[in-house]
Amino acid sequence: MDRELRREAVVFSRYLVRAAPSEALIERYCAANRELFAHEAPSAADAAVLAFARDHAWAVAPLDAGHALLGPASLLRKKLLVMTAILETTPEYAARTEPRAVALPMLGLRLAAAGVAMAAGAAAGLALTLALRHGK
Q: Please report, as ranges, the residues that interact with other proteins according to CB under 8 A.
A: 15-16, 28, 31-32, 35-36, 61, 64-65, 68-69, 72-73, 77-78, 80-82, 84-86, 88-91, 94-104, 107, 110-111, 114, 117-118, 121-122, 125
Please, are residues 111 and 52 in contact by the beta-carbon 8 Å criterion? no
Please list, in sequence order, all residues whose beta carbon lies within 8 angstroms of the beta carbon of residue 2, skipping any fewer than 6 positions away.
Answer: 30
Nearest CB to other proteins, comparing residues 56 and 110: 110
CB of 88 to other proteins, least distance (A): 5
CB of 78 to other proteins, least distance (A): 6
